[in-house]
Amino acid sequence: MKVKFMDFINNLFKSIFKSRKTVKLGIYGPVNAGKTTLANRICKDWIGEELGTVSRIPHETREIQIKEKVKIKNNSKELDFNIIDTPGIATKIDYEDFMKFKLSEKEAKTRAKEATKGVIEAIKWLENVDAVLVVLDGTQNPYDQVNITIIGNLAARDIPVLIIANKIDLKKAKLKRIQNAFPQYKTVGISAEKGKNMEDFYEALFELIK
Amino acid sequence: MLTLQFVPYTEIRELSSLGRIRKLLNLAKENKVVLLEGRLSKEEEAELIKTTMEEINASFRGIELAVVNPNESQDDVFTKFKATLASTLLGNKQGFTIIGPATVIKNIKRDPNKLQLLMKDAGSRSRRSSKKRRR
């Protein structure tokens, strides 16, 4: 009887103080869609600091970047996230493209080499995430094979996906085109740089995790 | 001269995932544009991208890839059921895949109704290969 009572007390304490699960939130997408800008926006909103540097030169993020224990609140709910910002996925990397941004040949080749490793890492990390934000540039054609391959792989692994149509502050952006391309997923239009529509984004994020 | 090579599904059906990826990537590295009957699985597509990245060097800059699956965009339940049944019976034989070297194909533009292959102009390709020869 005494043992049973102690078990009951132990279980009660465990249920009260058990550590809340941290959601490993991957940020995936093609190159220059604004993944790091979104990661920075989320981190700035909730912990007041940024995660990584952004640049107009493609493949600025060439390593996985993680910010742990980012506590996000939405209405009465609160969740801990590990924000995992991944390098942009591409099927080709040409060092000569970087030289158009005034990088020397040596710098361009180094960047290309690092970028290829980054893509490999990003794909490997698909195994380690609980949910994914697929960030697409709202001004670009969403039917790119990279987008379809990323989303298809997440579906095959049963990982919840929220599609982010970024850069909707730009004139050329077409939210509807992205929604039509992936009708089976919820799509939220935002501007990560300007912080536009972030309330809807956090609402959709909590719906994704529930 | 541009070479377009058709690969029937029977040529890859018996191969392992690694074997399929190797075969397609080797053809692309021979500067051929491959038209594959059917498609790879989603996991194989990701693996193809990974392997491509591992092999990028001064002469091989990667690939352009497009997978066309006519049943993918169908919304109604009956068509989806038909597609799933066909997939179970035929494997990934439905649709087709285009893979080509990034030094030959500039871009593959697609929307729900059309697919456009934009080729690099012959001048820039020959300039690039003469540069390679000089190295």
The domains of chain A are located at 22-209
The verdict on A178 touching B (C-beta cutoff 8 Å) is: no
**Are residues B53 and A120, on separate chains, in Cβ contact within 8 Å?**
yes
CA distance B41 to chain A (A): 9
Highest mean pLDDT among A92-106, B72-86, B110-124: A92-106
Q: What is the CATH number of domain A22-209?
A: 3.40.50.300
pLDDT on residue B135: 46
ipTM of the complex: 0.86
The verdict on B91 touching A (C-beta cutoff 8 Å) is: no
Residue A141: Cβ-neighbour burial (10 angstroms; 0-12, 13-18, 19+): middle
CA distance B103 to chain A (A): 9
Of B46, B62, B65, the CB nearest to A123: B46
Cβ atoms of residues A86 and A62 within 8 Å:
no
Q: Does the pLDDT at position A17 exceed 70? A: no
Among chain A residues, the shortest Cα distance to B69 is held by A148
Model confidence band, residue B133 (pLDDT cutoffs 50, 70, 90):
very low
Of B49, B75, B110, the CB nearest to A89: B49
pLDDT in tens, B22-31: 999 999 999 9
Q: Does the pLDDT at position B86 exceed 90? A: no
The verdict on A155 touching B (C-beta cutoff 8 Å) is: yes
**Are residues B112 and A91, on separate chains, in Cβ contact within 8 Å?**
no
Strand order in the sheet with A22-28: A65-74, A77-85, A22-28, A131-137, A161-166, A187-189
**Are residues B62 and A90, on separate chains, in Cβ contact within 8 Å?**
yes
**Are residues A92 and B63, on separate chains, in Cβ contact within 8 Å?**
yes
Short-list A133, A139, A167, A138, CA closest to A151: A133
pLDDT on residue A183: 95
Task: Give A198's contacts (C-beta < 8 A, 6+ positions apart).
Answer: A41, A45, A190
Q: Is A172 left (phi over 0), alpha (psi -120 to 50) or beta?
A: alpha
In this structure, what are the phi and psi dihedrals at residue A60, rounded to the nearest 5 degrees?
-65, -40
Least confident of A16-20, A98-102, A115-119, A178-182: A16-20
More confident residue, A22 or B86: A22
Q: Does the pLDDT at position A52 exceed 60? A: yes
Secondary structure class of A178 (helix, strand, coil): helix
